[in-house]
Amino acid sequence: MEIALVTGDITRRNVQAVVNAANSSLLGGGGVDGAIHRAAGPELLEACRKLREETYPGGLPVGEAVATEGFGLPARWVIHTVGPNARAGQTDPELLRAAFANSLQTAVSLGASSVAFPAISAGVYGWDARDVAEIGLRTVREHPGNGIETVEFVLFSDPVAQVFRTVLADLDSRD
């Protein structure tokens, strides 16, 4: 499995599945969630509403993941996950690991060969980008590929991309 670090907008990525850093309501929000909903169009919100009503009436729990179609996105699927919110005291690394791992597992179940992740929890949810990079990159490196050929981390800003490059180089040097 190849890991690529990309600076840019995840909604433009030509991959089979993009991961959305959503919230438990599944009904959209700001940040990457807002960007994905804008780019995918209103059908995405409809699909999320349906999931919420039929499968997650109490909301999608932190660390879990669920897929919809990608609608207007180049990606065929959106995998919605909920990262932990440090500003609400959710600082257990296991919760962030679960968000990455369950998103990957969902991609495997879909048969996706390429997946793009944002820096889950590194925005509104207040996690340090370095912790997100360490947990995200470690989780992906340890995950059995199972058909996934490429995992991209799509970082919205140069400073965050630089953090990911440094952490990946550190992990590689320890192999």
Q: In 14-148, which ranges are E strands? A: 17-22, 65-69, 77-82, 114-117
Determine the Cα angle at 75 with ends 110 and 46, to 5°. 85
Binding characters for ligand AR6, 68-107, by CB under 6 A (x = yes): ---------------x------------------------
Smallest distance, ligand AR6 to C-beta of residue 104, A = 17
Binding characters for ligand AR6, 41-60, by CB under 6 A (x = yes): --------------------
Shortest CA distance to 68 belongs to which of 29, 36, 114? 36
- For position 153 contacting ligand AR6 by CB under 6 A, the verdict is no
From 9, 33, 158, 175, the catalytic residue? 33
Smallest distance, ligand AR6 to C-beta of residue 175, A = 26
Shortest CA distance to 17 belongs to which of 157, 151, 160? 151
Identified binder of ligand AR6 from the candidate list 48, 67, 122, 168, rule CB under 6 A = 122
- For position 160 contacting ligand AR6 by CB under 6 A, the verdict is yes
Tell me which DSSP letter residue 27 carries.
Answer: S
Residue closer to ligand AR6 (CB basis): 30 or 174: 30
Encoded tokens for 166: 């440094």
Q: Is the dihedral of CA 122, 93, 112, 5 positive or negative?
A: positive
Q: Which helix (H) or strand (E) holds 130?
A: helix 129-142
Residue closer to ligand AR6 (CB basis): 38 or 147: 38
Smallest distance, ligand AR6 to C-beta of residue 155, A = 7
User: Which single residue is written with the structure tokens 């050929």?
Assistant: 149
Shortest CA distance to 100 belongs to which of 118, 126, 75, 74? 118
Site residues for ligand AR6 per CB under 6 A: 9-11, 21-23, 29-33, 35, 83, 118-125, 154, 156-157, 160
Catalytically active residues, by annotation: 33
